[in-house]
Amino acid sequence: LSPSFAMRIGNRATLAELDAAAWAAFAADAGLGLPLVRRRVAEISKGVLEKATAVAEELARPELDRTAIEQFANMIRERADRCVLTTAGAMR
């Protein structure tokens, strides 16, 4: 649940700091084309969005707090959406 990344992306440490320039720097540092990075971020985020609801439903048990599970799933979906949005301005 930490807002900090496990590793920096283009010298950014959190999703709040992440922007198109960070993705461009990440692509350059990794020796990858920016279009590939943008495409993979979109693909991974799409997969996360598709799975978040399914996982939340799978965890629905009487002994678990359904509200907390939904809040967690919503946070995951918001973060995945934000990742895609941050690539939108990355044009090089």
Q: From CA 90, how far away is CA 92, in angstroms rounded?
A: 7
- According to the model, what pLDDT value does residue 57 have? 85
The whole-model pTM stands at 0.79
| Domains of the chain, residue spans | 12-87
Residue-wise pLDDT for 2-51, tens only, equals: 889 999 999 999 999 999 999 999 999 999 999 999 999 999 999 999 89
Q: What is the pLDDT of residue 87?
A: 87
How does residue 92 score in pLDDT terms, banded at 50, 70 and 90?
very low
